[in-house]
């Protein structure tokens, strides 16, 4: 079992997408999506622009891993496809990639990762599709703008810490992972608990 920690630099409810009772990481962080396995844990930390002190935006256990094409066609996740005319949650849907054949180019839906006019954004396509994995978590807690403090013992646990500024961290010993997951389970929290940091700012700063 592995634990991955990283900073959610832009918390829009897109990556991760914590809506509909399932948390998904389908875009950004291709290295984590490529390396994580079922049973691993992913921890998203608040960025410095959102919180002065380290905090947890979300914690997710990886319960399923899909490819982009299987995510696109899976009847369970059609609600995660973005819609410009739907709710704010639908606006930030992360089910955005598919191909007509295994060798064809990626199609990107009009979404948070496309251009403002709805056209595909090649830079985001290239970054996202470095990994075809979509991480799906049914055991998760998403605190969003109400990110909670990280206990001191996980800021300095025999020299190990969840905190990282860039990239990601996954070199945690098993004792650290067990202590962290036990602490999380003891919280007895589940699901979407508060809106993303960005939603609490003026809507004009992110709406198109």
Residues of the chain with pLDDT under 70: 159, 202-208
Range of the domain at 162: 3-205
pTM: 0.93
Give the model's pLDDT for residue 207: 53
Rounded Cα distance between 154 and 151, Å, is 6
Reduced to 3 states (helix: H, G, I; strand: E, B; else coil), residue 200 is helix
Rounded Cα distance between 14 and 133, Å, is 16
Give the model's pLDDT for residue 85: 85
Closest CA to 33 of 135, 167, 168, 136: 135
Give the model's pLDDT for residue 168: 94
Q: For residues 142 and 58, is the Cβ–Cβ distance under 8 A?
A: yes
Give the model's pLDDT for residue 118: 86
Tokens read off for 49: 């622009």
Q: What is the pLDDT of residues 60-112, one digit of tens each?
A: 999 999 999 999 999 999 999 999 888 999 999 999 999 988 888 999 999 99
The total domain count for the chain is: 1
% of the chain at pLDDT higher than 70: 96
Give the model's pLDDT for residue 96: 97
């Amino acid at each position: 079992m592995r634990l991955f920690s990283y900073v959610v630099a832009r918390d829009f409810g897109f990556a991760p997408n914590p809506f509909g009772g399932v948390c998904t990481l389908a875009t950004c962080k291709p290295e984590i999506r490529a390396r994580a396995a079922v049973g691993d844990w992913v921890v998203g930390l608040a960025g410095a622009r959102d919180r002065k002190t380290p905090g947890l935006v979300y914690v997710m256990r990886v319960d399923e891993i899909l490819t982009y094409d299987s995510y696109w066609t899976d009847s369970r996740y059609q609600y995660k496809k973005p819609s410009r005319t739907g709710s704010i949650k639908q606006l930030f849907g992360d089910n955005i990639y598919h191909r007509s054949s295994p060798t064809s180019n990626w199609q990107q839906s009009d979404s948070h990762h496309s251009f403002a006019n709805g056209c595909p954004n090649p830079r985001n396509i290239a970054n996202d599709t470095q990994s075809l994995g979509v991480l799906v978590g049914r055991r998760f807690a998403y605190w969003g703008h109400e990110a909670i403090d990280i206990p001191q013992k996980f800021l300095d646990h025999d020299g190990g810490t969840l905190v990282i500024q860039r990239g990601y961290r996954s070199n945690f010993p098993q004792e650290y992972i067990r202590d962290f997951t036990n602490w999380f389970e003891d919280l007895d929290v589940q699901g979407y608990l508060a809106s993303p940091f960005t939603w609490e700012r003026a809507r004009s700063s992110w709406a198109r």
